[in-house]
Amino acid sequence: MRTTNKALFLDRDGVINIDHGYVHKRDEFQFVDGIFEFASEFYRRGYQIFVVTNQSGIARGYYSEDDFRDITDFMESQFHGAGVEIKKTYHCPCHPKFSEVCECRKPKPTMLLQARDEFRIELSQSLFVGDNITDVEAGESAGVGYNYLFSQNSEDDRMDFDAIVKHFFKLGVN
């Protein structure tokens, strides 16, 4: 299979929205400052945008798949309003303590590999931005070329959106 596309993969809670814990209602969903501009920079350069998120709140019974779909529709419509298409949102509703052991929960690379296969993504030319080490581990396992730990405040070894853009495009990947 020949792949031809590059992608920006984004974790949801902590990268797209402020992680208030099991966010599943529109009035709880608060976008991280700069996310639309960040995603727009990559979208403008021809990157397909994907969301890859663990949603154990479903397995824990905090909210339903329908609740998740509703908040996802809201999130994607807000990106669309900002001129950015989210190509697809992948999610894992499982948690090993509350549901069956699955193959999709990060740090397993399954959701990234599904995107690769479904949309012919060249993972080595793509990047994944997450706020947890399991995001980086998933990206590395899948063969994503550039994996970044995000923080709004650039704490520890993490980078904010501006630092990621500068670092990534300085590499000359695009």
- In Å, what is the CA distance from 170 to each residue of 85, 89, 129? 25, 28, 17
Q: Burial of 23 by CB count in 10 Å (0-12 exposed, 13-18 middle, 19+ buried)?
A: buried
Active site (annotated) includes residue 157: no
Q: Say which of 13, 131, 135, 160 is annotated catalytic.
A: 13
In degrees rounded to 5, what are phi and psi of residue 95?
-155, 130
What is the SS3 assignment for 21?
Answer: coil
What is the SS3 assignment for 63?
Answer: coil
Active site (annotated) includes residue 13: yes
| Residues with catalytic function | 11, 13
